[in-house]
Amino acid sequence: IAGITQAPTSQILAAGRRMTLRCTQDMRHNAMYWYRQDLGLGLRLIHYSNTAGTTGKGEVPDGYSVSRANTDDFPLTLASAVPSQTSVYFCASSESGGGTDTQYFGPGTRLTVL
């Protein structure tokens, strides 16, 4: 079934640990995105990639890094997790990143940093 998968579904992490959230899409979309969703704040863009090999910073990039080695995968890494990174993380993808492009979201990863 075409779509976006994320792993893990949920994770409890000790502060200071390194963590990589995985995202894979099989729709051959060029653009991919990482958002965090916090109560009362809505979805906020962390990082994005308009095409394989390129990445850009969103609204809240500090403490996070991404890579885009190929079209399908867009992992998000927390180098040293802090409690303020407790959130639900959504990966999304879209065909091109422009025009009438619609973003499609993965099921999310619920991360708790203690």
Partner 1 sequence: GQNIDQPTEMTATEGAIVQINCTYQTSGFNGLFWYQQHAGEAPTFLSYNVLDGLEEKGRFSSFLSRSKGYSYLLLKELQMKDSASYLCAVRDGDYKLSFGAGTTVTVRA
The answer to the question of residue 2 lying near partner 1 (CB under 8 A) is no
Q: Which of 13, 41, 39, 26 is nearest to 91 (CA)?
A: 26
DSSP reduced 3-state for 105: strand
- Between 40 and 79, whose beta carbon lies closer to partner 1? 40
The answer to the question of residue 14 lying near partner 1 (CB under 8 A) is no
Q: Binding to partner 1 (CB under 8 A): which residues in 73-92?
A: 90
Q: 104 near 83, Cβ under 8 Å?
A: no
| Binding-site ranges for partner 1 (CB under 8 A) | 33, 35, 40-45, 48, 58-59, 90, 97-98, 100-108
